[in-house]
Amino acid sequence: MRQLTFSAWAFTLCTAISFAQPVLRKEPALYAATERTSRVEVPPPGIRFGLRKPRELALAPLSGPERAELAGPGPRLRTGVHRKLPATLLSIGDWENTAEGKRVWRMTLRSPGALGTRVEFLNFSAGSGKVWLHNGEQVAGPYSGRGIYEDGHFWSATVFSDSVTLEYEPGEDTGVETRPPFEIRSISHQTTSVAAAAAPQAGSADPADSCHLDPNCYPEWKPAMNMVAQISFEDGGSSFLCSGSLVAKSKA
């Protein structure tokens, strides 16, 4: 009886081993879009020449419904809310001449209390011209052509301020324009900083799965252990943030 039991156990073990497959390391996905806003090629004219602050459109503080939307339930971290802008927005901007003899269009948007601001562009067609957003120090852009995705519609990178100045400098081959070659439909009023979003919440469960591989066991992944990935995206009427890094996991 013992011999029969042992044989059955051995057969089961060998069968399990024969069907086991080695764990293959998955290569990281590569993003091949044309986003280059993190590298500022030329500072905007307002910073280059120390121009005065342009005319400003100041929105009202967040309304009750907007605050309620921010506090709404959901599985994703909500970091901001979209705010619609008037159709006549661009008429607030002014054209002026720089010390280089070039024309530049400028205006400022302010959403009181925002920790960060993103701008939604529509029908963007700047050609060889350049469009920047900045708060006097931090700069997003320049954006040219048909925008990031070459379709005229995109969200700018975040400028971490409640006030953002937009500047458009036409290209050398552009004729005299009376208005900038784009529309602005809305802004993202962000209320959560990256540091606050990354801080662990009391009582939150560990989101890392127990089957995650330990990067310490793979020398080729050692440089990546110092990196932190962050994805800020817009969906519906809100802004969201996802972030994470390679973490060594061990299970007893």
Residue 31 lies in a domain: no
Residues 79 and 176 in one domain: yes
Tell whether 89 and 203 lie within a shared domain: no
| pLDDT score, position 219 | 77
Amino acid in the structure at residue 210: S
Phi and psi dihedrals of 64, rounded to 5? Answer: -60, -50
pLDDT for residue 248: 47
Residue 10 in any domain: the answer is: no
Length of the chain: 252
Number of other residues whose CB lies within 10 A of the CB of residue 241: 21
Residue 31 CA: distances (Å) to CA of 28, 35, 36, 196, 239:
10, 10, 12, 26, 21
Q: Which amino acid does the sequence have at 188? A: S
Does 168 lie in the same domain as 50? Answer: yes
pLDDT in tens, 171-214: 988 888 889 999 999 999 999 865 555 555 555 555 544 455 66
Please report whether residue 8 resides in a domain. no
Q: How many whole angstroms separate alpha carbon 153 and alpha carbon 223?
A: 35
Query: Is 18 part of any domain?
Result: no
Sign of the alpha-carbon torsion through 217, 222, 226, 230: negative
Among the residue ranges 76-80, 162-166, 171-175, 222-226, the one predicted with the least confidence is 222-226
Phi-psi category of residue 8: left, alpha or beta, with phi > 0 → left and psi -120 to 50 → alpha: alpha
Domain limits at 216? Answer: 196-245
How is residue 57 written in tokens?
């459109």
User: Are 74 and 114 in a shared domain?
Assistant: yes
- Check residue 81 and give its pLDDT: 93
Please indicate, yes or no, whether residues 96 and 119 belong to a single structural domain of this protein: yes
Confidence of residue 252 (pLDDT cuts 50, 70, 90): very low
In a domain, 184, yes or no: yes
pLDDT at 242: 53
Rounded to whole angstroms, the Cα distance separating 206 from 241 reads: 18
State mean pLDDT over 218-228: 71
Helix spans in 152-233 (H) = 194-198
E strands, 42-155, in order: 56-58, 78-84, 94-97, 103-110, 116-122, 127-134, 139-145, 154-155
Q: What is the pLDDT of residue 249?
A: 42
What is the DSSP code (8-state) at residue 157?
A: P
Specify whether 61 is located in the same domain as 174: yes
- CATH number of 120's domain: 2.60.120
Distance CA 135, CA 54 (A): 12
155 contacts 119 by C-beta, under 8 angstroms: yes
Residue 35 lies in a domain: no
Q: Are 230 and 173 found together in one domain?
A: no
Does the pLDDT of residue 115 top 80, yes or no? yes
Determine the pLDDT at residue 153. Answer: 97
So what's the pLDDT on residue 146? 97
Lowest-confidence region among 88-92, 99-103, 225-229: 225-229
Q: Between the CA of residue 95 and those of 54, 87, 88, 111, 245, what are the distances in Å?
A: 10, 19, 16, 23, 45
Query: What's the pLDDT band for 232 if we cut at 50, 70, 90?
Result: low
Residue that is last in its domain, among 147, 166, 192: 192
Same domain, 138 and 233: no
Q: Closest Cα partner for 76 from 211, 247, 192, 203?
A: 192
Question: How confident is the model over 60-92, as pLDDT tens digits?
Answer: 999 999 999 888 877 777 889 999 999 999 999
Comparing CA positions, the residue from 134, 184, 179 lying closest to residue 154 is 184
80 and 132 in a single domain? The answer is yes
Judgement on whether residues 182 and 103 belong to the same structural domain of the protein: yes
**Residue 226, domain member (yes or no):** yes
Is residue 21, in this structure, part of any structural domain at all? no
Of all helices (H) and strands (E), which one includes residue 39?
none
User: What is the tally of structural domains in the chain?
Assistant: 2
Whether residue 121 is found in the same domain as residue 239: no
pLDDT in tens, 9-65: 444 544 444 444 454 555 555 545 444 444 547 899 999 999 999 999 999 999 999
